[in-house]
Amino acid sequence: MAKYYKNTLLIALLSAGVLLFYYTFSQRHHVPRYPAGLHGVYLSLPASPPVFHLTDHTGKPFTSTNLKGHWTLVFFWIFSLRDGVSRDPGCIERNV
């Protein structure tokens, strides 16, 4: 009989631990992202880029004046090389 109670207690404690673990980590994701009643966001005016001097792929100079009067989208490559390799398997062969 004591073995039955010991196993039942062990299962109950293990279940409580799993539920506590799930509850603890699931509550972190329920933080509201925006205040209640917010239906839009006011964006400030775009900032001017700093002055820079680069060379493009043809060897010609590329400066911040080349961007004046045009919309500019800056894209930073992914942070994990593992993702990049899985999305573009040929990238290693091209860059080696």
Read off the pLDDT of residues 60-72 as tens digits, 9 standing for 90 and up. Answer: 999 988 888 888 8
**In this structure, is residue 7 part of a structural domain?**
no
- pLDDT value of position 90: 59
- Reduced to 3 states, what is the DSSP secondary structure of residue 63? strand
Considering the domain boundaries, does residue 91 fall inside one? yes
- Mean pLDDT for all residues in the chain: 75
Distance of alpha carbon 96 from alpha carbon 80, whole angstroms: 18
The answer to whether position 87 is within a domain reads yes
Asked if residue 17 belongs to a domain, the reply is no
Is 75 inside any structural domain? Answer: yes
Within a domain: 34: no
What local confidence, expressed as pLDDT, does residue 58 receive?
92
Would 84 be classed as within a structural domain?
Answer: yes
| Pairing assessment for the beta strands 53-55 and 61-63 based on DSSP bridges | antiparallel
Q: What is the pTM of this model?
A: 0.32
Residue 49 has pLDDT above 80, yes or no: no
Counted domains in the chain: 1
List the domain range (segments joined by +) for residue 81.
64-95
